[in-house]
Amino acid sequence: MSDERYEVVPIGEVESPLTDAATAPKQGFEGSPEAWLVFDPALLEGLDGIAPGDEVILLTWLHRADRDVLRVHPRDDVSNPMQGVFNTRSADRPNPIGLHQVQIVSIDGGRMLVRNLEALNGTPIVDVKPVLKRA
């Protein structure tokens, strides 16, 4: 196995009323407020074709995570038996990449208003992808 490392360069940042991990929803569909995705102006061309109403997959870098954790109680609930982090959506994991399916509400230049995002204010955005529909 190669021991190469790779560098993630954020493409934008989340602006959200959510600031506290302990009280934020654990999943986007569990009552998240609307939030803004604010993109690096140099990369706006890359967003061409995305339109209000679209469901997209957002990848974030969960920068407050503990990267040394390998086992957790799912949903921070000690009554849930310990699991490997790769069998959970815990933010604590070796590469803390957040995966979120959100819906675009509106677009204003390099800012997109979305619903169903549980990421905290200031979370770096690392990628956006369309939801695939099988033919």
Where do contacts with its own copies occur on this chain (CB under 8 A)?
Answer: 1-2, 4-13, 27, 29, 38, 40, 43, 45-50, 56-57, 59, 61, 63, 70-71, 82-89, 93-95, 97, 99, 122, 124, 126-130, 132, 134
The distance of closest approach from Cβ of residue 9 to its own copies in the complex, given in angstroms and rounded to an integer, is 6
The distance of closest approach from Cβ of residue 56 to its own copies in the complex, given in angstroms and rounded to an integer, is 8
The distance of closest approach from Cβ of residue 115 to its own copies in the complex, given in angstroms and rounded to an integer, is 15
Q: Distance between CA 33 and CA 125 in Å, rounded?
A: 17
Q: Distance between CA 47 and CA 39 in Å, rounded?
A: 9
Sign of the Cα torsion 39, 40, 44, 48 reads negative
Cβ proximity to its own copies: between 11 and 119 the closer is 11
Cβ proximity to its own copies: between 33 and 99 the closer is 99
Sign of the Cα torsion 25, 27, 33, 38 reads positive
Cβ proximity to its own copies: between 52 and 71 the closer is 71
> In DSSP terms, which residues pair with 101 in a beta bridge?
57
Cβ proximity to its own copies: between 88 and 103 the closer is 88
Using left for φ > 0, alpha for ψ between -120 and 50, and beta otherwise, residue 110 falls in: alpha
